[in-house]
Amino acid sequence: MKPIDLRVEGTRQGAMEVARNRMIFLMAVFTFGFFTLAIKLISIGVFQATNTDYPGSSGKNTVLMARADIVDRNGVVLATNLKTPSLGVNPYKINDPELLSYKIIEILPNLKRENVLENLQSSRRHVWIKRKLTPKQMFEINRLGEPGLVFSDAEKRIYPHGSLVSHVLGSVGVDNQPSAGVELYFDEHLSNPLRSEEPLELSIDIRLQHMLNQELNTYVERFSAKGGGGVILDANTGEILALSSLPDFDPNEYVEPDDPSRFNQILQGVYELGSGFKTFTVALGLDTKTVDLSSGYDASKPVKVARFTIHDDHAKNRWLNVPEIYVYSSNIGTLKLARDIGVERQKAFFDKLGLFRKTNAEIFEVGRPILPSQWGPTELVTTSYGHGIAVTPLHLASGVAAMVNGGRLNPATLLKKDASQIKSISSGSVDNQVISPETSETMRNLMHLVVEYGTGKSAKVDGYVIGGKTGTAIKAAGGGYRNKDVISSFISVFPIDKPKYIVFAMLDEPQGIKETLYMASGGWTAAPLVGNLIRRMGPLLGIAPTKKEEIEYESMILVSGTE
């Protein structure tokens, strides 16, 4: 019996061993499968976003968008894309087009029922009913339960700041077709799928843009002006930090191409900007040694020029030296200086300042200057103080920047410059040097005197030393002038000892009010606007207040005779 029992026990033990081995094998298989699945899930969740190749992405995992973003100089998004559903229909799957058309109109009241019905009865396989639905509209359409109604995703161009940067950005229409602004100018970049992750970086600072727009709106309303505009320029690089034109428009909504709100008063509008041009005339006179600071002219009587009689709005009725001519904005003194400069030198200088051609701003809607048909003794006189020649406000701002930044004319740009570009600009070149550094320093002092003692007093800002020049020009119309309608403006530089920013603002046909003694000139309307703007800009930009006595102006004050 013993051998038999041992055999039985051995058989049982062998069977158990086989079962145990099978269990171990199955556990190993399940364990291997579990770890394989876990690794796969981790790979999908963590690594797929950077390892998966998409067609045309050059090995980079990129969800290609219809248009690249546009951002400001600090990376704040100005234009981007948002996926939105669009409603289409397969007419062959619609049983009762008439009834369905009424249901759709209840949800989408902006559509015309006749058009909707026509689409529902179309002979085509697919027809669009409405693009870019809201989530609520999509929900309500879905509730209709119509199998013939279909949705498809599309990208809608979104402008988060609404109308704030409208004249710079422009807008896009159906299927993201650009119509104006940098959207149109840089369409090749923005619409290129391979560059969809390369945002277009503008020079605009949205913080300054907000301040400029807010102050313009306040003063347009205060003086019942037809509109207004302004620009903030980096005095040393030409970068446009803010640009606003009123009235403006919301690029998120469709606006007719010929709507007046689309007109860009800073880049597109050309105006006779008045006394701002005296900055160029005085600078040219000093730079060519035609006059020095002690020179002067008799401004005691009006001057007859052709059929015009030229007089001073702030008449002193006496002999004025060069600083006084500029500080008191004397038309008589300026025209006499221009006569000594001469036509050829004046024309050559204006050409060198870029006043005879369009600006380089990167949009297509830029205005071409309107120049005199001939340039004789009369035109020499009138253009010296900003009449008879019409330019955009950006022309004036760029030219004044060159008068105060050491004499270099840097083309204005809407694109942010990188460090190497800024270094190249600061090194300077003979080609962009329009006046000497010494003349530029003198012009800074003269512009400061305008704010301290002259027509720009309303732009004074406690704690900051600034310079500026007023401008008041009668609007041209039908070959003549409308005496009661003016463009009032003020262009400022700050800090005036080491210029960083050019600030320009203009009001179109402002109306005088009781507080301004019913005066509507640049000194009364545009100068305080710019002063308020600088008061807000200074702290934001980290510009420390400066004590007035730290800057040497005493000698200029003595020369000007305004002490």
Please identify every residue annotated as catalytic: 275
Take residue 115 and report the two structure tokens written for it: 């058009």
Output 15-18 pairs: Cβ under 8 A, ≥24 positions apart: none
| Residues in a beta bridge with 86 | 152
Q: Rounded to the nearest 5 degrees, what angle is found at the Cα of 270, between the Cα atoms of 268 and 276? A: 125
| Residue carrying structure tokens 């969809």 | 196
Amino acid making up residue 137:
Q
Take residue 561 and report the two structure tokens written for it: 């005779």
What does each C-alpha distance from 83 to 66, 80, 155, 209, 460 come to in angstroms?
10, 10, 4, 28, 49
Interstrand relation of 149-158 and 77-89 (parallel, antiparallel or unpaired): antiparallel
Peptide bond into 247 cis (omega under 30): yes
Asked if 285 and 340 touch (Cβ cutoff 8 Å), the reply is yes
What does each C-alpha distance from 172 to 73, 256, 487, 503 come to in angstroms?
22, 12, 32, 30
**Can you tell me whether residue 327 is helix, strand or coil?**
helix
CA–CA dist 222, 225 (Å, integer): 8
**E strand or H helix that includes residue 31:** helix 2-42
Asked if 131 and 41 touch (Cβ cutoff 8 Å), the reply is no
Return the exposure string of 45-75: e unless at least 16 CB atoms fall within 10 Å of the residue's CB, then b. Answer: eeeeeeeeeeeebeeeebeebbbbbbbbbee
CA–CA dist 400, 526 (Å, integer): 17
